[in-house]
Structure 1
Amino acid sequence: MVISQSEYYISQEEYLEGEKVSGIKHEYIDGQVYAMAGASDAHVTIVGNLFAMLRNHLRGSSCRVYMLDMKAQIDVINRYFYPDVMVTCDIRDKEFEYFKCYPSLIIEVLSESTEGYDRGKKFASYRHLESLQEYVLISPDGMSVECFRRNEEGHWVLYLYQEELHLASVDFRCAIAAIYEDVTLTDNSNKN
């Protein structure tokens, strides 16, 4: 969640060096840095559940899964974001210690204050990543997962999941309930 913006331009190099020592995370958009706020219990739990399941699924493969503190670089439009969960299977990403350039999967857990941005401008930015195959949005309030998947023609197609999730980019399947394990849902219409 973005909470404040700096008032002056900084270079990508200054941003990356500053993030190494900063007590809070910042996203970077065209020379401006935006401080990130903390996340809710539900948000952090969902991210942890997904990370654990994806890490177990990808163990022994060439893919790596990251959560919360790894940046995605979108160099062609001068941006760095902190996805909630990100998977890269591209060997070129091994050369970058503090960010990744070639993710195949990005997952964002929505919040009331960032939902519009995650669906709109952030997704528009992520679409510049030629490696990205799936962009997933997860509600922290009810069992609802939206997966935008790039098809063979390069168009993004929406898949809605309420019982079982399928992430084609990493050949992963799980029950939606597993994503929400230990989460207190506030949307009663999705409780079992």
Structure 2
Amino acid sequence: MQALRSLEVRSDHPYLLRLYGVSEAEFEALADEDLKAEYLDGVMIVHSPAGFSHEDRQAFLLALLRLYAETHGIGRVVGGNALFRVGRRQFAPDVMVLPRHVPIVRQRAEGIPLLVVEVLSESTRDYDLGEKRRLYREAGVGELWLVDVEGQVVIVERRGRGYESEEIHEGWVVSEAVPGFRIRAEWLWQEPLPSILECWQALSSAG
């Protein structure tokens, strides 16, 4: 753990670090609430601290989803370093909506999310669009949103549609896994981001 902390302090560049041959017990001993890390088939994947733009959009989506879920009694919405486990894999999405009564064991959700949102960044773009996207499909995630701010596109995949990709550059991005929830893609491209209250009012009136 000290070596990981040292890397975080010294590195001025985004990184995605893979530690091979790590047992699940070792992963759980190393991972904590201050470190974003995942566990995939004996490999511990450590993420560099996210940049401002990434955190801003993650917080924006988390706030809207959480408010919507609480208003309509749909699931539990968490983000950041929260993990969900499927078999020997533990994932840490940027934002996820879990079923309402999913068990929480050792601070990990033991269930498959209804919706997962990933905001692409320099260090995670290839990982999110490739390996992690495939593993989410294998896990049976209900719906996946990949938010590409650089390309100004939201890629949506749904289990019920065989994970066929839909690319949305503008207009409403509508969730089927969280019925009634939607955002306008162009909100995510704005700098600064629009008011959450105004977006909530637009979302509510659109429903």
TM-score category, normalised to shorter length? 0.7 to 0.9
Aligned letter for 2:126?
G
User: Does the Cα contact within 8 Å between 2:137 and 2:159 map onto a contact in 1?
Assistant: no
Q: Distance in 1 between matches of 2:183 and 2:19?
A: 41
Task: Pick from 88, 93, 96 the counterpart of residue 105 of structure 2.
Answer: 96
Structure 1 vs Structure 2 CA RMSD: 2.3
Residue in 2 that maps onto 1:6: 19
User: Does the Cα contact within 8 Å between 1:74 and 1:128 map onto a contact in 2?
Assistant: no
Number of aligned residue pairs: give it: 176
Shift of 1:137: 0.5
**1:62-104 deviations in whole A, cap 9, x for unaligned?**
40011111012231xx22221101111152x233352222211
Aligned letter for 2:130?
G
User: Does the Cα contact within 8 Å between 1:49 and 1:181 map onto a contact in 2?
Assistant: no
Shift of 1:23: 4.6
User: Does the Cα contact within 8 Å between 1:137 and 1:145 map onto a contact in 2?
Assistant: yes
- Unpaired segments ≥5 residues, structure 2: 1-13, 194-207
Q: What is the TM-score with the length of structure 2 in the denominator?
A: 0.75
- Flag as ranges the 4+ runs of structure 1 deviating above 6 A: none
Q: Distance in 2 between matches of 1:114 and 1:167?
A: 23
Q: How does 1:82-161 map to 2 (within 5 A)?
A: 82-91=92-101, 93-100=102-109, 101-130=111-140, 132-151=141-160, 155-161=162-168
- Unpaired segments ≥5 residues, structure 1: 185-192
User: Does the Cα contact within 8 Å between 1:51 and 1:85 map onto a contact in 2?
Assistant: yes
Shift of 1:28: 1.4
* Paired residue secondary structure (1:136): strand
**1:103-156 deviations in whole A, cap 9, x for unaligned?**
1111111123322221111111111223x211110012253211011226xx11
User: Does the Cα contact within 8 Å between 1:136 and 1:145 map onto a contact in 2?
Assistant: yes
* Paired residue secondary structure (1:39): coil
Q: Distance in 2 between matches of 1:142 and 1:48?
A: 20
Larger displacement relative to structure 2 (49-58 or 97-106):
97-106
State the structure with bigger RCO (CA 8 A, min sep 6), 1 or 2. Answer: 1
Q: Distance in 2 between matches of 1:46 and 1:118?
A: 16
**Percent identity (aligned):** 26
Q: How does 1:1-192 map to 2 (within 5 A)?
A: 3-7=16-20, 9-20=21-32, 23-60=34-71, 61-75=73-87, 78-91=88-101, 93-100=102-109, 101-130=111-140, 132-151=141-160, 155-161=162-168, 162-171=170-179, 172-180=181-189, 182-183=191-192
* Paired residue secondary structure (2:126): helix
Q: What is the TM-score with the length of structure 1 in the denominator?
A: 0.80
Identify the structure with the greater helix proportion: 2
User: Does the Cα contact within 8 Å between 2:75 and 2:99 map onto a contact in 1?
Assistant: yes
